Structure 1
């Protein structure tokens, strides 16, 4: 694929993402979407912290 073809594809994908984001930000479901994203962020943060704590415990046990 040539550089100009990649640029055109990138532009089209970027424009589509921009349109989708604009649609959601201007829709009535914006607040619902934001809440879902916040919930997902919190779940991922909890998973990450749990896994981090497990790894810390394993390392402490390994070097104790």
Structure 2
């Protein structure tokens, strides 16, 4: 997934879920891993990292 798409997904997920967005992305990543979708899992990990950046430091 392109970096712009990752950032777009991260912003949308954060807008929809607030502080729970990172956990939501992690859950989607695990589901993809369990289903054998390694590439999609990597995309969700990138989204999770982007959400962490949006939230900023010391936000749990």
TM-score by length of 2: 0.34
Greater share of helix residues, 1 or 2? Answer: 1
The structure whose Rg is larger is: 1
